[in-house]
Amino acid sequence: MKEKDLDRWVQKYRKAWESNDPADIAVLFTEDAAYYRRPDEDPIFGRDAIVTAWLEFADAPGETTFEYQVLGFGDGVGFVRGWTKYLTEPPAEFTNLWVIRLDRDGRAHEFIEWWMEKPL
């Protein structure tokens, strides 16, 4: 994996986040992927289950802004730090740490997403 592959995956993730289109979400993950949404929850296994879970908690298009920084990558593993702002009332801000394991086709077979809300 190269940094451009990781960056491409994050851009596709953001597109899926904004569109909530099941096809945009599914293209991110391998069929047998594991998605860890929080460190205190069991992972979601399988592309179809990930798409279903994603849509259960989907944000509305235009509801967030997102910036990120690639912290490191190599041997198929990437680390990303992100900053999310919710433009809702009341507003909210989160910091994120992602660990992403990509296959050779650029799809995640493991995605660990940990987020913390910033106090306002």
The whole-angstrom separation of Cα 60 and Cα 19 is 8
Q: How confident is the model at residue 101 (pLDDT cuts 50, 70, 90)?
A: very high
Question: Under 8 Å CB-to-CB from 109, ≥6 apart: which residues?
Answer: 29, 30, 32, 33, 34, 101, 102, 103
Classify domain 3-117 by CATH number: 3.10.450.50
The whole-angstrom separation of Cα 113 and Cα 78 is 12
Average pLDDT over residues 97-114: 95
Q: How confident is the model at residue 24 (pLDDT cuts 50, 70, 90)?
A: very high
- With CA atoms as reference, report the closest residue to 98 among 4, 7, 1, 2: 7
Q: Which pTM value belongs to this model?
A: 0.92
Backbone φ and ψ for 23, nearest 5 degrees, come out as -70, -40
**Per-residue pLDDT reduced to its tens digit, 58-84:** 999 999 999 999 999 988 899 999 999
